[in-house]
Amino acid sequence: MRSAGRAVSVLAVGAGALGLVLPATAPGAGAAQASCTGNPSSAELYTLGPGAGQYGYYVLPSSAPKGIVALEHGYQQTAYSMVPLLEQISSDDGVIALAMDNTATSDDGPGASASRGWRVQEGAADAIAVTKAFDGRCDTGPTPFVNTLFGESMGGETSGIAAATGATRADGEPLFEYWIDASGVANLTETFLEASTIAPADDYAAEAVADIEAETGGTPLQEPQAYVDDSPVFLALGMKSSGILGAVVVHAVMDGLVTSDEGDQMLAALQAAGIPTDFYTAVFQEPGVTSPTLDGDLLGLVDPGYTSPFAGHVNGIVMDTALSALEALYQKDAAPSGLSVTVSDGELGTIPLLSVPGL
């Protein structure tokens, strides 16, 4: 990771408008080139304002960008912890990659690697604002400029909300074309209830419960509409009307934090809305990789030395699969075009189960 204390490019919001300030134009270079290309191994800091969590990082590709990938991080992570992933995505796929820390998230500021807050509505608004700024500067055509939302865990919820807002480019066209959901929260009520169950014995779950209540204004019984509004499983029709052309959903069968049925629910909702979807599921994890799993949580209480063989939450095979789908989108123009269901597994390999072209 790069130090957050070096010279940076800055995005700032003022008087209701997002202004973009980027490095000075190189001698003989055009303004668009200077603003939209850079070193894909070097992340830069931006700020949205003086409040908590109002910052993030972006990476510019070395050549004209093919589009923008807006990355949403998981619970208690930060934009800074996403920097290696931003650099990888920008380098591999030739895109502007950016991540938000989510306005109102509590942390120690730029360079922090841990945070508190379940600020998904704020994060969705941040993603839209920053993507619009880069899109307005860098989508100069005529080459198609493709924008993708990419979320992991809580970030699956954040990015799903952003995908359903009807956000548009300056010319009125949809701001985002695709959504990639890796181990994402699809049903906030279910996640809240599961966290509440183990909260008395688990500090992480207890903090999640408190932060979700702070975001929604209460429990699902007290604020049912807020939980609906924050659950992508109920937002698929909004994604369709917002112009989402396709989605990729990746989940592990033994996910110990966001259970795999949430991925199933999301697939069903996307299909009902008529959104082409590639669905990937993993049974076993890659050798040497560990992640939170249901069996690990339960059997670990009996045998502290137990190591689960199963794929879990945002583990290696889940992220490798999501990143491969992103690479296929930008490098091979291979976008979801109907319905596909695939086992993408750390031990079993890749096994197509179902393919239905078109919708």
Tell whether 78 is covered by a domain.
yes
Tell whether 327 is covered by a domain.
yes
Residue in this structure with the two tokens 């993708």, named with its chain if needed = 148
Least confident interval from 40-49, 219-228, 238-247 = 40-49
At 248-257, the pLDDT tens digits run: 999 999 998 9
CA-to-CA distance for 278 and 354, rounded, in angstroms?
A: 10
Tell whether 4 is covered by a domain.
no
Reference 276, options 322, 243, 251, 323; nearest CA is 243
Q: pLDDT-based confidence at 27, cuts 50/70/90? A: very low
Tell whether 2 is covered by a domain.
no
Q: For the beta carbon of residue 352, count every other beta carbon within 10 angstroms.
A: 10
Q: Average pLDDT for residues 277-286, to the nearest whole number?
A: 94
User: 142: cis peptide before it, omega within 30°?
Assistant: yes
Tell whether 341 is covered by a domain.
yes
Domain around 191: 10-357
Tell whether 312 is covered by a domain.
yes
CA separation, residue 47 to residues 2, 28, 110, 114 (Å): 17, 29, 9, 18
At 122-164, the pLDDT tens digits run: 999 999 999 999 999 999 888 899 999 999 999 999 999 999 9
Q: Rounded to two decimals, what is the model's pTM?
A: 0.90
3-state DSSP call for residue 128?
Answer: helix
Domains contained in the chain, number: 1
Tell whether 330 is covered by a domain.
yes
Q: Average pLDDT for residues 72-95, to the nearest whole number?
A: 96
Tell whether 202 is covered by a domain.
yes
CATH code, 326: 3.40.50.1820
